[in-house]
Amino acid sequence: MKKISFVIPCYRSEQTIGHVVAEIDGKMQEMKEFEYEIILVNDCSPDHTLEALRELCRERASGNGIRKAISFSKNFGQHSALMAGLRESQGDYVVCLDDDGQTPANEVDKLIGKLEEGFDAVYAKYEHKHHSTFRNLGSKVNELMTRVMLEKPKELFISSYFAVRRFVVEDMIRYENSYPYVIGLVLRSTKSITNVVVTHRDREQGSSGYTLKKLFGLWFNGFTAFSVKPLRIATAFGSFCAILGFLYGIYTVVKKLINPDVPMGFSSTMAAIVFFGGMLMLMLGLIGEYIGRIYISLNNSPQYVIREKINAEGSRSDGTEEMH
């Protein structure tokens, strides 16, 4: 009998996570041909999410449908939480979804059905999204970035609700450097990826935890950890600017030779200096970002630090920490 692992990053979800878990339990009662487990990862939520997870784990501490919890020592972000859950998972199929009830757990059979057809990864696609305008804008920028930088197929829709086969998970968790980016890890593991249409719901409570700062951090993770295209773009643009400057220099000399009375333009000279100086600083900053991330990775900066595990392998009750 095949097993499904559900991985759910949790942040400010003390009021919603119980509903999500109950919905999974209800759906899996219909899918009796599968065993399952639920892995809940508390990303150092400032509310009482950890207490809610402890209670859920106490309700089912063993057997089919076991609930496991992992709690971080500080906030490491959604993608680090996903990596921790993936490493704890044991299922033949792994399903990742949100903790706020917007991703319909009762439609997981659609994702699993596509995996059963032979696909390696399946992403949920929404006909009508119920995110805020800011979140939708962030999704569009992320869509463009993954298509340009990570060579994602244009027709493929990426979302936080997806399912993958075991071998894809095993390849993903081999990545142990800082700044994990789950979408990039899936795209580098397989090209056999498809979409399936599901319902997107209104958020039950609260608002998205993604701020502008976090979205920028996520985008930087994507195109600095899994692509050198930004460096190539910077090189191409630098070459273009150099050629443009050279041609402008020739134009200035020729113009002076033809008409010696033409005054040399101070404003245009300063504009050119400011423009090219700014571009040089931008390119140096981009190179510095790559070097900084290499430095942090060489220092073995962890993707996350686990403070506590409940019902999971190597569970700790003494408050000691585990790094990965």
pLDDT tens for each residue of 101-133: 889 999 999 999 999 999 999 999 987 665 555
| C-alpha separations of 43 from 13, 75, 78 in Å | 11, 5, 7
Tally the residues of the chain: 324
Instruction: Give CA angle at 238 (233, 240), nearest 5°.
Output: 95
The reported pLDDT for the residue numbered 317 is 45
The reported pLDDT for the residue numbered 148 is 67
Phi-psi region of 245 (alpha: psi -120 to 50; beta: other; left: phi over 0): alpha
Lowest mean pLDDT among 54-58, 77-81, 182-186, 250-254: 250-254
Q: Are 53 and 71 in contact (CB under 8 A)?
A: yes
Q: How many helices (H) and strands (E) does the chain have?
A: 10, 9
**99 alpha-carbon distance from chain centroid:** 15
Q: In what order do the strands lie in the sheet with 66-72?
A: 193-198, 121-126, 162-165, 93-96, 2-10, 34-42, 66-72, 305-310, 322-323
Amino acid in position 126: Y
Determine the 3-state secondary structure of 70 from DSSP. strand
pLDDT digits (tens, 9 = 90+) for 128-161: 665 555 555 656 666 666 676 667 888 899 889 9
**Paired sense of beta strands 121-126 and 162-165, if any:** antiparallel
The label of the residue with tokens 């997107």 reads 200
Q: How many other β-carbons are positioned within 10 Å of the β-carbon of residue 216?
A: 12
Q: How far apart are the first and last CA of the chain?
A: 31
How does residue 179 score in pLDDT terms, banded at 50, 70 and 90? confident
Lowest mean pLDDT among 133-142, 184-193, 258-267, 298-307: 133-142
How does residue 224 score in pLDDT terms, banded at 50, 70 and 90? low
The reported pLDDT for the residue numbered 319 is 45
- Most confident range, picked from 1-15, 209-223, 288-302: 1-15
What is this structure's pTM? Answer: 0.77
**Which neighbouring-strand residues pair with 72?**
306
pLDDT above 50: residue 30: yes
Q: Are 120 and 162 in contact (CB under 8 A)?
A: no
pLDDT above 70: residue 34: yes
The reported pLDDT for the residue numbered 239 is 73
**202 alpha-carbon distance from chain centroid:** 21
Helix (H) or strand (E) holding 322: strand 322-323
How does residue 304 score in pLDDT terms, banded at 50, 70 and 90? very high
Determine the 3-state secondary structure of 9 from DSSP. strand
Q: Are 309 and 315 in contact (CB under 8 A)?
A: yes
Lowest mean pLDDT among 91-100, 186-195, 226-235: 226-235
> What is the CB-side half-sphere exposure of residue 254 using CA atoms within 13 A?
6
pLDDT above 60: residue 275: yes
Q: What is the mean pLDDT of the chain?
A: 83
The reported pLDDT for the residue numbered 152 is 80
The reported pLDDT for the residue numbered 320 is 47
Q: Are 72 and 162 in contact (CB under 8 A)?
A: no
